[in-house]
């Protein structure tokens, strides 16, 4: 078997390691990458079990993707003006969808807007207990208004039934488990005139395996304070938002240990959550394409998809829109992030404001 880890020496004689992360890992949805580990950490790893290197790389990723509310360590010595310059540069590339609303409205003329919305961090705030991620009544009214004029889908990593109970709106398309479980309105609607219910489940054969992994993780995480295992039907989420950082290594160790016994499953990562999914080629981008086709807009130039999301899993949908050169991705974030989205919004309250403006614009255009 080929060894994909390589020792690297620099001019000063210091040693590091580059760990190749395969496609099945959370770092490389589109191909392997190399992660550099400093000499000190390398020595620590060589003194322990080398097989833990991959687990260690996941711990590092957990830390890197979980910034605190304080300034990041790598820029703590920089003046705030430099941070502001960095943000200004980023916002110039991904301007606010509120500021650029007229441009979005102009692009939609003569086209059917189709709205795609993530849930956590987009329609609801990120909370410590994922079972209490409720959306506000104002946000519900905004989504309801949008769905009155445009086909609207909720695309989430959550279990489809659970997110539907959160949203409490009929007439929407719900795509749970990162798009692996899709169900449309069962009754005739303005956007579903054929009264054809959409139902798509991409990974039914994995259900027993996912259920078994979920039960194993629940047992393993029982002694880790703050760990929360959520069975989302077609994937399993391990939330570590409330876990003390000193125990993150134990979380990663348990997850990777169990995952090693299931080669048909893979590990991905979101905002303070590790997610175990089937290895099938399906994600939120594929779900977006499937729903557009179901609505009769496959290869159509008369449609303008808008996708709003805050997580790295939403990047798959942003990339689809960018590749098509059609529609807009809108990233919800207060900090600069590498993204394929066109525009940005800072938080769920701005998402609600954007949706409300879209409704008001549509109402005015109908009257005018």
Return the active site residues. Answer: 118
Q: What span, in angstroms and rounded, lies between the C-alpha atoms of 13 and 10?
A: 5
Q: Using an 8 Å Cβ cutoff, are 354 and 307 in contact?
A: no
Locus of tokens 């905004």: 142
Q: In what order do the strands lie in the sheet with 33-37?
A: 6-9, 15-21, 33-37
Q: Which pair of structure tokens corresponds to residue 52?
A: 């833990």
Backbone φ and ψ of 222, nearest 5°: -55, -35
Q: What span, in angstroms and rounded, lies between the C-alpha atoms of 174 and 309?
A: 15
How many other C-beta atoms lie within 10 A of the C-beta of residue 13?
A: 7
Q: Which pair of structure tokens corresponds to residue 290?
A: 């499937």
CA distances from 27 to 87, 262, 313 (A): 25, 18, 12
């Amino acid at each position: 078997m080929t060894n994909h880890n390589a020792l690297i020496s620099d001019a000063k004689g210091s040693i590091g390691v580059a760990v190749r992360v395969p496609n099945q890992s959370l770092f490389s949805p589109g191909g392997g990458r190399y992660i550099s580990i400093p000499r000190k950490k390398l020595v620590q790893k060589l003194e322990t079990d080398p097989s833990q290197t991959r687990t260690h790389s996941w711990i590092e990723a957990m830390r890197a993707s979980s910034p605190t509310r304080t300034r990041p360590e790598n820029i703590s010595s920089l003046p705030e003006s430099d941070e502001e310059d960095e943000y200004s540069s980023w916002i110039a590339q991904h301007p606010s969808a509120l500021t650029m609303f007229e441009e979005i409205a102009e692009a939609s003329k003569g086209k059917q807007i189709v709205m795609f919305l993530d849930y956590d961090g987009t329609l609801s705030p990120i909370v410590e207990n994922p079972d209490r991620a409720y959306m506000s009544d104002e946000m519900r009214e905004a989504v309801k208004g949008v769905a009155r004029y445009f086909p609207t889908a909720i695309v989430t990593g959550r279990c489809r039934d659970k997110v539907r109970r959160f949203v409490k709106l009929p007439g929407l398309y719900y795509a749970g488990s990162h798009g692996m479980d899709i169900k449309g309105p069962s009754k005739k609607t303005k956007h579903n005139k054929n009264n054809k219910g959409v139902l798509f489940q991409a990974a039914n054969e994995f259900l027993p395996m996912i259920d078994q992994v979920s039960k194993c993780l629940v047992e393993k995480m029982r002694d880790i304070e703050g760990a929360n295992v959520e069975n989302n039907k077609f994937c399993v989420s391990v939330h570590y938002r409330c876990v003390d950082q000193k125990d993150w290594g134990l979380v990663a160790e348990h997850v990777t240990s169990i995952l090693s016994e299931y080669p048909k499953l893979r590990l991905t990562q979101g905002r303070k959550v590790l997610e175990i999914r089937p290895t099938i080629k399906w994600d939120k981008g594929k779900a977006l394409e499937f729903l557009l086709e179901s609505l009769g807009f496959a290869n159509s130039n008369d449609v303008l998809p808008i996708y709003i999301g805050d997580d790295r899993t939403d990047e798959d949908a942003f990339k689809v829109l960018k590749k098509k050169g059609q529609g807009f991705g809108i990233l919800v974030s207060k900090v600069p992030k590498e993204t394929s989205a066109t525009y940005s919004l800072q938080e769920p309250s701005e998402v609600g404001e954007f949706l409300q403006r879209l409704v008001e614009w549509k109402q005015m255009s109908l009257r005018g």
